[in-house]
Amino acid sequence: MSREIRRTMPLLSMNIVMQLTELSARQIRYYEEHHLIEPHRTEGNRRMFSLNDVDTLLEIKDYLEQGMNMAKIKKLFAKKNEPVSTDEPNLSDSELRRIMREEMLQAQRMQKSSIRRGDLSRFY
């Protein structure tokens, strides 16, 4: 399974994205308001983020820390996402999850070790 697919699957809840990005929920929702990310929603309306969303958030964070404002960031992202456009077939969600499972099955994992809360942002 390709890396890209893995990275676009909506796997992560708000809680964990806050930890991975060290952003507040308010900030994350604000950036969504500005259409910089568009997280998936569960049936119950909970946001579910992909790893790509996390990447984007980290990028936004970085730009803001550099003094860029939302308007500029928006333009920057607009340019980034512009060029490619074709009409391709869509894959169903179930297919995506199937692919995900496949990938996981192939992994040869041997041992677990637990990671303490708070370690995540350091490693990401």
Residues in 27-86 at the binding interface with a second copy, rule: CB under 8 A:
38-43, 48, 50-55, 58, 81, 84-86
Half-sphere exposure (CA, 13 Å, Cβ side) for 98? 5
Q: 32 to each of 47, 48, 69, 70, how far by Cα in Å? A: 10, 12, 15, 11
Name the residue among 3, 17, 118, 11 with its Cα closest to residue 58.
17
Q: How far is the CB of 115 from DNA (least distance, A)?
A: 17
Residue 62 or 119: the one with the smaller Cβ distance to DNA is 62
**Which residue from 27, 52, 76, 120 is in contact with DNA, where contact means CB under 7 A?**
27
Determine if 45 is a binding residue for DNA (CB under 7 A): yes
CA dist 53 and 59 (Å) reads 10
Tokens found for residue 119 = 């370690």
Binding-site partner at residue 52 among DNA, a second copy, none, CB < 5 to 8 Å by type: a second copy
For the bound state, the minimum distance from the C-beta of residue 21 to a second copy, rounded and expressed in Å, comes to 8
